[in-house]
Structure 1
C-alpha cells in the first residue's frame, strides 16, 4: 500500500511540473530543463524516502506478527531509522525477557506437575469460582472418580461423601475426616495468589494404612503373648483334668457328677482356646497368592453351601451376578472373606421379620464394584465410623473379629471397600475390585 501511494505521489509531482512547463518549453527552455531536473530529484528523493520508511515499517509488522504468534525466539533486525532502531532494541530486550520468563514458567509448571504426581497425598486445585481445574492421581484414587467427571465442577455438584465434608472446611483449617469403612483422611484447605487473585487447593492425606499399621503393632504382640499363655495354661489344665478322672469317687452317683464337672471344665478350656485362636488368626493372615480366579464361581459355591441354612431361616437370595468375573486374587482368602460377610448378613437378617429377609448380590460393570446388600437393620452413622475398628462389635456377644478379618484381607488385595446404609436402607458391603 505504501509503495503504491509513494508511486502515485511521484507521478503527481512530476506530472504537475511537466504539465506546467511543457507548454512554455519553447519560450522558456531553461525553466523546462529545471523542471525536468527537479522531477528527477523528486523521484529519487521519494524513492529514498520509501526505502527509509518501508523497512522500519516492515520490521514493526514482523514484531506484531511475532507477538500475535507468541514467538519469543525470533528477533528484529536493526534499521537505518534511528527512532525505529531504538524501538527495535527495546522490543528485542522485551522479547528476551518474555522468553526467559516463559521458559522459567514452563520449567516450574513441569516441576509442579511431576511434584503433584509424585506426592503421596491427594491434591485438588480450584479456580476463582471454586471449580476443580487440576488434580493428581492419588486424589482420583481416593475419590474413585475420573478427572473428566469432576473438572470444571464445584464440590456441591460432585456426589462424593469426602468432598461434601471437605466443602464445609474453613480456609486454612485442618481436620481428620472418617468415613464408612474406617477410612480416615486428614484434609486441609489452603490458598495461594495467582495473577493477583486468590485460588484454593485441597490436600488430602490417607491415614488409613498408617492407622492399621499402628493398630497391628499395638495388638499383635499382646495377642501372641496372650495366645501363648492361654494355650499353655489350657494344655496343662486339660492334662490335670484327665489325671483327675483316675481319682473319681467309688460311689456311682458321685462319680457321674464328678466326671460331668470335669467334662464341663475341659469344655470351657477348649472354648477359651478357640476364643484366643480367633484373635490370633487376625495376626496370622498370610500374604495372598495371586492368580486369576472366577469370583462369580466362588460366590455361587458359597451360596450353595449356605443354601439350606438360608432357606431354613427364610432368607431370599437375589443373585444378579454375571456368568463370569475374573479377578487377580487369592482364592482361599476370598472364600474366608465372603464366609464372614454372609455370616454377618445372616445374623443381621435374623433381627427382622421373616417376610423381609433378603440378601442381594450384584456387580456394577461400569464402576467395577461388587455389592452385597441385606435387608436387615440399618447401620447408624456412629457404627459406620467404628465398624472396622479392631475388636469393635455392635453385638452384645460379638468379638469384633469377623469384619476386622475382612478388612485385612481386602487391604492385602488392594481393594477399597465400605459397609454402609444408603437410601435403600438395610446394609450394603461394597467392594471396589
Structure 2
C-alpha cells in the first residue's frame, strides 16, 4: 500500500474491528478467536509503526543533510499520497533555496576576503579585549600571525590615538591607526586598519627626490650642452690665429669652459642614475652562492661572510642587490682604512619571516646628525663623494619592499641593516 491516507484508514479500521471481535469472543468464551484477534491487532500495530517510521525516516534524512551541509539532496515521499508528495516537494525546494543562498553568501565572502587580501593596508577584526578574529595578508605580514593585538596598538585603540608605535618589531615602526566598532549577532567587534607610515613616507620621499632630480638634471643639461658645443666651436676657430696674446688667452679660457662643462655634465649624469632605476626582476637567490660571488669581488681578508645553511631562497633582483652590497662594503672599507685591526662582517639570517642582512665594521663611525641624513641624495661626508651611493642603495631596497637602517657610534664603527620579506 502506497497511499498514506488509505493505509492509515485501513489499519485503524482493522484495529477497531478486531478489537470488537476479540471482545465478543471473550464474552462467548471463544479464547482461540480472542487470541487470534489480539495477535492480528499486534501485527497491524507493528505495520502502522513501520508506516510512521518511513515518514520519520524522510524527516531524519532531511535533518541530517542540513546538519552536514549537504543541501543538494532531494526529499522523496515514502507514499504515493498527494499531500505527502507535496510536502516532499516543498522540503526539496526549501533545501535548494538554502543551498543557493549559502552559495551566494560564500561567493560574497570569497570576493570580499580576496579583495581585502589584495590591499596593502592591514585590516583586522578583533574583540574589545584584543583577541583577533580575522586579519588579511598585509596584517599577517605585519603582526606575524598573532592571536592578539600588540599592547601598543591595543593601548592606542583604548586611548583613541591616531598613531601607534611597535617598539618590539624587527625595526621600530609607526602605524597610522583607524578603528570602527561594529555589532554582529549581539557581539561587539573592532574593525581596525593599520598603515605603515614609515613605508609611505619613504616611497613619497623617494618619488619627490626623483622628480626634483629629473627636473634639475633636465634643465642643467639643456643649458650645459650648447655651452660645450659653442666652446668647442670657438676653440677650433681660435687655433687658426696663434700669434696674438689675446688669441692664446681666449683659447685657454675656452678650454677651461669646455673642461668644466664636461665635468659638470658628468656630475649631473651621475644624479640621473637615481631616476633610472628599473623595477626589480626578482628571482630565487641562494644567499650562500650570493656571498660566495661577493667574496670573490673583495679579496680582503678583513671581510667575513656568514649565512645560514638553508635551502630557503631570497627573492630579489641579483644585479641590483650586488650593487647595494658592493656600495655598502666599499663604504665599510673606507671607514676602516685608518684602523690597523679592521674587521668587516657581512651576516645573513632569517628572523620573523624576513631575510635580515647586516654589514658591520669597526671603523671611524658617524655622528648622530650624520646617520639621520646619510640616505639623502646629495649628502656626503667624503671630500670627493657624489652623495648618490647610499641614496641609490635605499631606493633599490625600497623597490624590493625592504628597509635599510644604520646604527653608528664615533670611533666604534657602524652597522647597516637590510630587511626583506620572504
Band of TM-score, shorter chain: 0.5 to 0.7
Asked if 2 retains the 8 angstrom alpha-carbon contact of 1:130 and 1:200, the reply is no
Question: In 2, Cα distance between the equivalents of 1:122 and 1:92?
Answer: 44
Which of these residues, 379, 396, 403, is aligned with residue 390 of structure 2?
Answer: 403
Q: TM-score, normalised by structure 1?
A: 0.60
Deviation of residue 240 (structure 1)? 8.4
Other-structure match for 1:430: 418
**Structure 1 residues not aligned, in runs of 5+:** 1-9, 22-27, 158-163, 250-259
Q: TM-score, normalised by structure 2?
A: 0.61
- Say if 1:317 and 1:387 are closer, same or farther in 2 by CA, change over 3 A: same
Question: In 1, Cα distance between the equivalents of 2:270 and 2:90?
Answer: 81
Deviation of residue 425 (structure 1)? 8.6
Question: In 1, Cα distance between the equivalents of 2:388 and 2:415?
Answer: 18
- Say if 1:59 and 1:416 are closer, same or farther in 2 by CA, change over 3 A: same
Other-structure match for 1:221: 215
Other-structure match for 2:68: 69
Counterparts of 1:4-403 in structure 2, within 5 Å, are 31-32=30-31, 35-36=34-35, 38-39=37-38, 42-43=41-42, 45-78=44-77, 95-96=95-96, 98-117=98-117, 119-128=118-127, 130-132=130-132, 134-137=134-137, 143=142, 150-156=144-150, 168=156, 188-190=178-180, 192-197=182-187, 198-202=189-193, 204=195, 207=200, 208-209=202-203, 212-230=206-224, 233=227, 272=264, 275-285=267-277, 295-304=290-299, 307=300, 316-320=302-306, 329=317, 331=319, 336-346=323-333, 354=339, 358-364=343-349, 367-375=354-362, 377=365, 387-392=374-379, 400-403=387-390
Asked if 1 retains the 8 angstrom alpha-carbon contact of 2:124 and 2:136, the reply is no
Question: In 1, Cα distance between the equivalents of 2:153 and 2:29?
Answer: 100
Question: In 2, Cα distance between the equivalents of 1:345 and 1:222?
Answer: 31
Question: In 2, Cα distance between the equivalents of 1:232 and 1:187?
Answer: 53
Question: In 1, Cα distance between the equivalents of 2:408 and 2:76?
Answer: 71
Deviation of residue 290 (structure 1)? 8.8
Question: In 1, Cα distance between the equivalents of 2:209 and 2:36?
Answer: 106
Other-structure match for 1:256: none
Asked if 1 retains the 8 angstrom alpha-carbon contact of 2:182 and 2:191, the reply is yes
Number of aligned residue pairs: 378
Question: In 1, Cα distance between the equivalents of 2:281 and 2:55?
Answer: 77
Secondary structure in structure 2 of the residue aligned to 1:428: strand
**1:253-288 alpha-carbon deviations (Å, 9 max, x no partner):** xxxxxxx99999998777655543432343355678
Question: In 2, Cα distance between the equivalents of 1:121 and 1:288?
Answer: 19
Question: In 1, Cα distance between the equivalents of 2:378 and 2:172?
Answer: 13
- Say if 1:184 and 1:48 are closer, same or farther in 2 by CA, change over 3 A: closer
Deviation of residue 361 (structure 1)? 0.8
Question: In 2, Cα distance between the equivalents of 1:183 and 1:273?
Answer: 40
Question: In 1, Cα distance between the equivalents of 2:327 and 2:419?
Answer: 14
Deviation of residue 220 (structure 1)? 0.4
- Say if 1:398 and 1:106 are closer, same or farther in 2 by CA, change over 3 A: same
Asked if 2 retains the 8 angstrom alpha-carbon contact of 1:295 and 1:326, the reply is no
Secondary structure in structure 2 of the residue aligned to 1:430: strand
CA RMSD of aligned residues (A): 5.9
Secondary structure in structure 2 of the residue aligned to 1:421: strand
Other-structure match for 2:407: 421
Question: In 1, Cα distance between the equivalents of 2:135 and 2:207?
Answer: 28
Secondary structure in structure 2 of the residue aligned to 1:319: strand
Question: In 2, Cα distance between the equivalents of 1:422 and 1:68?
Answer: 64
Question: In 2, Cα distance between the equivalents of 1:425 and 1:89?
Answer: 82
Asked if 2 retains the 8 angstrom alpha-carbon contact of 1:374 and 1:428, the reply is no
Question: In 1, Cα distance between the equivalents of 2:174 and 2:235?
Answer: 49
Deviation of residue 139 (structure 1)? 5.4
Secondary structure in structure 2 of the residue aligned to 1:406: helix
Asked if 2 retains the 8 angstrom alpha-carbon contact of 1:166 and 1:187, the reply is no
Deviation of residue 104 (structure 1)? 2.2
Deviation of residue 328 (structure 1)? 7.0
**Structure 2 residues not aligned, in runs of 5+:** 1-14, 247-251
